Amino acid sequence: MENMLHLTPSHASSIPDGFVLPAGHLRPATAAGVVSLPVVDMSSGRDEVRRAILDAGKEHGFFQVINHGVPEQVLRDMEAVCHEFFQLPAPDKAELYSEDKSKPNRLFSGSSYETLGERYWRDCLRLVYPLPGGDTRDWPHKPQRLREVVGNYAVLARGLATEILRLLCEGMGLRPDYFVGDISGGRVAVDINHYPPCPNPSRTLGLPPHCDRDLITILLPGAVPGLEVAYKGEWIKVQPVPNSFVVNFGLQLEVVTNGMLKSVEHRAATNSAAARMSVATFIVPADDCVIGPAEEFVGEGNPPCYRTLRFGDFKRMHNVVNLGSSLNQITNLKNNQEEV
């Protein structure tokens, strides 16, 4: 529990050694505003939305959605309750704290990846919404409304993900229910990220460069900027659009589409002025689900570029984030799979 950053006022003046990353790992982002992520208005006509999502997905692997159907009040409640949770007195949070990665629901600090010793400026409350029942009895009981608010949010975020997956299927010529079932039905994992103000943002990161290992991720980015996305060899800063979600493809979507859609690296920067909160909702396949390139993406002149693997085995192979100095060194999926 003493690892939790937000409980440690001594961090106000300098960052402890473990957080200082080698300069080569900290290439700064391009000046804000040079490239912005596409914004897809989901209230446009279906053909237009389908096209916009596919174009944005192919170009960036990341996009923002507005008019997505999740009520504004749900977002405000979610932000408020997450904030209240991190403000609770330490003893109320202590029993949730755990470094045991096999625990579905836990409070922890640093990264969720094996990072070979490097530490990251993030506290995280991870809650798993089990499917199909959604039994949230093991979730925190304080703040009192947390289970209701986060449970409701998880269902709506999952609904949005399902809709986007269906639009992608239509756009790519897959049967519309391709992603229904085990491939999206393992669990919904909700990471409530809290990045406290950092005295030296140029020397550390909130999250290391990584690709999400799931199928698709719906991020509530919060009002404070921090997310940075790899684009053409640079890092670009994502300027949050009010009431939007950031959507990005997980590695499983890259595998299914045989690389037509890419799971793109991203990282979280810190800042010294304000704490930042974000909520990442991951749509995770069942461990036993066998995932490989769909036959629609393989054929003469189009050999499979990825192995077909049980998702549980895939995860074991991608546990280590080995920070490289170049942008795409660390999660090169094809190379990783060759080593197995």
Q: Does residue 118 bind Ni ion (CB under 5 A)? A: no
* Residue nearest Ni ion by beta-carbon distance: 212
- Cβ 50 to ligand OGA, closest distance in Å? 25
C-alpha span between 281 and 161 (Å, rounded): 9
Strand pairing report for 266-268 and 227-231: antiparallel
What HEC string does 113-133 produce? Answer: CECCCCCCCCEEEEEEEECCC
Burial class (CB in 10 A: 0-12, 13-18, 19+), 220: buried
Q: Exactly one of 118, 123, 212, 254 binds ligand OGA (CB under 6 A); which one? A: 212
127 within 8 A of 103, measured Cβ to Cβ: no
Return the one option of Ni ion, ligand OGA, none that residue 125 interacts with (CB less than 5 to 8 A, by type): none
Sheet of 123-130, strands arranged across: 39-41, 62-66, 245-249, 216-220, 276-284, 187-195, 123-130, 106-109
- Region near ligand OGA per CB under 6 A, out of 30-38, 137-145, 221-229, 305-313: 221-229
Range 274-333, binding ligand OGA (CB under 6 A): 278, 280
Hey, what are 10's tokens? 């001594």
Q: Exactly one of 111, 193, 257, 331 binds ligand OGA (CB under 6 A); which one? A: 193
- Region near ligand OGA per CB under 6 A, out of 60-68, 102-110, 132-140, 220-228: 220-228
Range 276-295, binding Ni ion (CB under 5 A): none
- Cβ 267 to Ni ion, closest distance in Å? 8
Return the one option of ligand OGA, Ni ion, none that residue 227 interacts with (CB less than 5 to 8 A, by type): ligand OGA
Q: Does residue 212 bind Ni ion (CB under 5 A)? A: yes
C-alpha span between 180 and 167 (Å, rounded): 13
Sheet of 234-237, strands arranged across: 207-210, 266-268, 227-231, 234-237
Residue type, 107: L
- Region near Ni ion per CB under 5 A, out of 138-146, 169-177, 206-214, 300-308: 206-214
**What is the dihedral sign for C-alpha 295, 300, 305, 308?**
positive
Q: Does residue 218 bind ligand OGA (CB under 6 A)? A: no
Q: Exactly one of 118, 123, 191, 254 binds ligand OGA (CB under 6 A); which one? A: 191
The binding site for ligand OGA (CB under 6 A) comprises 191, 193, 207, 212, 219, 221, 226-227, 266, 268, 278, 280
